């Protein structure tokens, strides 16, 4: 085994040494912690680098498949784990930057290379000689005395082959491979179309009276946006820090409608960016893939490798939540509608009205305007507050690292330490731009692993679209943005605190319906005064956030909880409906969506969520969007333990780190959860926290 790994390493080093002479993606990165040398990497480097890396990986795979030694865990499973290190590095840079710092040339490169990468992946999992070796090791696993992590790697490797067609006949393999290539290209096109439609629309306001109701900071940001485009007046975009406040506060209903319709028609405008046919084709291809694998539909196929196990369990989970949340949701909606009517609104409540009137009701109900919080949530102070929280819980420190190159001036890099131990590099990319897709996410340029030559620490990236600095004012976050920051940081620390041997099992490489637990768990701290008081200070006066503000944050936590729960579950139902199809559908996507949503507001022709639903058509959540609520049920349960012991309790945090965060995907999530909690999940934890059900009162 050592001989084979040595040969693979020599082949990899030799090839990258020769090919990397003029290509920074392939050469040795003589940078701090071997971070990407972004300033040296140009678009013209990606095609040759990716193709060279694929060639190298193919040679390594062929070497593993053709060796004469009997298959073992080391010479087959571990060797495969290390066979595509260069390819992983190159693709990690390309695909991550395509999400957050792209241009038309890079998008074309991705469209060209995605099918080639899929073709290589298919050639691996459909390699009969290689699969015979994998299967031999798998069939003899009981006698190999493997650790739990080794067992998981073996099972994951074997399943990957089977789930990607290794057991199919020649015709089936050809069909599966062809479909997989097309799906990879369609997924990239879907994402590019949404970004293009997002950037294509602006609301240009030239009359000041049309800004009525907007907070001063929103008006100032709109002015700054106009100036940056060389325009007079004010510009509102579909980037959420611009779109969200306008929909919430703008008095001008006509403009709210125009903006809402632009946002909710992305990918559905009948132009070159239209995603209707892409969705029809993707759902058809996914169904065909599932059928080839012996499943009735794609949902069955996808869920066979998730915590939920099958569509029936997902349906039962969502139905139970829907039954509990629906009465609350109806009451939420009626309260907003009645409030609007009582304040002179004499038209039917529409989708572009709900945020506006619900915010006014919230202000009246809690005597509180959420915009009053912004001055206390300066981005730099929030960031330091989160850093300090992870220091308090897990002993981490974050050191500003200007010596580490970033891919954009807005991005900052940090070295993360646990005492004197280097844990990894963290990149924070906080502000919207046209080269970045909407939303917020965490990803990696490199995952954590261990080898005979030492430990490899991760390079973690957090990408958000937060409110930008305006003039001489710093970036002031909304409370929702603070929650989002905490959420994505939870993902980042899941990757940063990983302590496993194999990169494919490290950090967030867990079941999709478990991966949101560490991230959603951290949102709970946002409602705790003990945490808020550590960093929430007025950016001008330094005054700590008033206690009455914190109390109002807590009291308003479950405001519209029923309505918002039903909204998210509805999206999960649409996702499941698309991926439970057994035949192609020919109609409009918006009509299909409407058939499977629980709606309280009137439908709007030409508008829907699905044609911009990147989570399920470009983001890996196909037949998995329910997972946010699934993991939320787990986090409600887990945070109860933190509350019981104290939200800064070191013992509880250490146990969570050791038994969940550091373990990555080395054991089944059910095992990880039980190891930490000492029991199975409480099925009612989320409903109790949301106020959908109440604990019975005990007689005294």
- Residues annotated catalytic, as ranges: 488
564 is written with which tokens?
Answer: 């918002």
* Residues 318, 215: Cα–Cα separation, whole Å: 38
Q: Pick from 400, 405, 426, 401: which is nearest to 40 by CA?
A: 405
Torsion of CA 286, 290, 292, 296, to 10 degrees: -130
* Residues 254, 260: Cα–Cα separation, whole Å: 10
593 is written with which tokens?
Answer: 């969506």
Largest distance between two CA atoms of the chain = 83
Burial class (CB in 10 A: 0-12, 13-18, 19+), 213: middle
Do the bridges between strand 412-418 and strand 421-429 make them parallel or antiparallel, or are there none, so unpaired?
antiparallel
Cβ–Cβ under 8 Å, residues 363 and 369: yes
630 is written with which tokens?
Answer: 């699934």
* Residues 656, 320: Cα–Cα separation, whole Å: 28
* Residues 449, 500: Cα–Cα separation, whole Å: 6
* Residues 303, 314: Cα–Cα separation, whole Å: 9
* Residues 43, 437: Cα–Cα separation, whole Å: 19
* Residues 211, 229: Cα–Cα separation, whole Å: 19
Q: Pick from 214, 210, 233: which is nearest to 223 by CA?
A: 233
Cβ–Cβ under 8 Å, residues 249 and 237: no
Sign of CA dihedral 397, 401, 407, 409: positive
Neighbour count for residue 651 (Cβ, 10 Å): 9
Long-range contacts of 24-31 (CB under 8 A, 24+ apart): 25/49, 25/89, 25/90, 25/93, 26/52, 26/53, 26/86, 26/90, 31/404, 31/405
622 is written with which tokens?
Answer: 């196909």
Name the one residue in this structure whose structure tokens are 């990880």: 672
Torsion of CA 226, 231, 237, 240, to 10 degrees: -10
Cβ–Cβ under 8 Å, residues 348 and 602: yes
* Residues 412, 405: Cα–Cα separation, whole Å: 9
* Residues 296, 290: Cα–Cα separation, whole Å: 7
Torsion angles phi and psi, residue 455, rounded to 5: -95, 140
């Amino acid at each position: 085994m050592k001989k084979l790994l040595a040969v693979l390493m020599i082949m990899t080093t030799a090839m990258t040494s020769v090919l990397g002479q003029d290509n920074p993606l392939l050469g040795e990165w003589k940078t701090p912690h071997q971070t990407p040398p972004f300033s040296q990497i140009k678009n013209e480097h990606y095609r040759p680098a990716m193709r060279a890396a694929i060639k190298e990986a193919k040679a390594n795979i062929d070497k593993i498949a053709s060796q004469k030694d009997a298959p073992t865990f080391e010479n087959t499973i571990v060797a495969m784990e290390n066979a595509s290190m260069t390819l992983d590095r190159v693709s990690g840079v390309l695909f991550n930057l395509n999400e957050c710092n792209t241009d038309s040339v890079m998008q074309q490169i991705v469209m060209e290379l995605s099918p080639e990468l899929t073709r290589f992946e298919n050639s691996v999992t459909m390699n009969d000689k290689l699969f015979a070796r994998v299967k031999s090791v798998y069939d003899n696993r009981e006698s190999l005395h493997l650790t739990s992590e080794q067992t998981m790697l073996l099972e994951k490797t074997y399943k990957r082959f089977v789930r990607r067609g290794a057991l199919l006949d020649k015709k089936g393999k050809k069909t599966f491979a062809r479909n997989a290539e097309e799906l990879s290209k369609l997924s990239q096109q879907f994402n590019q179309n949404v970004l293009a439609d997002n950037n294509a629309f602006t609301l240009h306001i030239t009359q000041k009276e049309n800004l009525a109701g907007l907070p001063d900071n929103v008006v100032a940001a709109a002015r700054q946006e106009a100036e940056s485009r060389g325009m007079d007046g004010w510009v509102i975009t579909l980037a959420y820090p611009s779109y969200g406040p306008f929909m919430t506060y703008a008095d001008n209903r006509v403009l709210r409608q125009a903006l809402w319709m632009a946002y909710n028609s992305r990918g559905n405008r009948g132009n070159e960016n239209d995603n209707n046919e892409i969705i029809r084709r993707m759902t058809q291809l996914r169904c065909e893939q599932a059928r080839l694998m012996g499943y009735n539909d794609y949902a069955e196929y996808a869920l066979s490798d998730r915590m939920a196990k099958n569509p029936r369990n997902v349906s039962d989970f969502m139905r139970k939540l829907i039954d509990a949340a629906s009465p609350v949701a109806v009451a939420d909606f009626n309260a907003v509608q009645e409030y609007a009517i009582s304040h002179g609104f004499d038209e039917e409540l529409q989708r572009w009205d709900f945020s506006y009137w619900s915010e006014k009701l919230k202000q009246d109900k809690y005597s509180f305007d959420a915009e009053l919080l912004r001055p206390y949530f300066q981005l730099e102070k929030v960031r330091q507050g989160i850093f300090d929280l992870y220091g308090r819980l897990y002993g981490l420190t974050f050191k500003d690292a200007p010596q580490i190159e970033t891919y954009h001036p807005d991005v900052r890099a940090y070295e993360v330490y646990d005492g004197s131990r280097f844990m990894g590099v963290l990149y924070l990319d906080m502000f919207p731009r046209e080269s970045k897709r909407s939303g917020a996410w965490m990803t990696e340029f490199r995952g954590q692993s261990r080898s005979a030559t030492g430990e490899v620490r991760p390079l973690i990236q957090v990408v958000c679209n937060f409110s930008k600095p305006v003039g001489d004012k710093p970036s002031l976050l909304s409370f929702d943005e603070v929650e989002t920051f905490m959420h994505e940081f939870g993902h980042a620390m899941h990757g940063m605190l990983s302590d496993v041997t194999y990169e494919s099992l490290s950090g967030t490489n867990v079941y999709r319906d478990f991966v949101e637990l560490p991230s959603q768990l951290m949102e709970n701290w946002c409602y705790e005064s003990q945490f808020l008081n550590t960093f929430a200070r007025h950016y001008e006066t330094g005054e700590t956030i008033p206690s009455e503000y914190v109390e109002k944050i807590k009291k308003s936590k479950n405001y519209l909880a029923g309505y918002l729960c039903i909204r998210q579950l509805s999206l999960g139902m649409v996702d499941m409906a698309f991926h439970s199809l057994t035949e192609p559908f020919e109609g409009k996507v918006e009509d299909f969506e409407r058939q499977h949503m629980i709606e309280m507001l009137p439908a709007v022709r030409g508008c829907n969520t699905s044609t911009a639903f990147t989570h399920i058509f470009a983001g890996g959540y196909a037949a998995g969007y329910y997972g946010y609520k699934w993991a939320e049920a787990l986090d409600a349960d887990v945070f109860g333990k933190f509350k019981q012991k104290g939200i800064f309790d070191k013992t509880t945090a250490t146990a969570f780190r050791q038994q969940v965060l550091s373990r990555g995907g080395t054991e089944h999530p059910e095992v990880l959860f039980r190891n930490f909690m000492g029991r199975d999940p409480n099925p009612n934890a989320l409903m109790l926290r949301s106020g959908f059900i109440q604990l019975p009162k005990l007689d005294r």
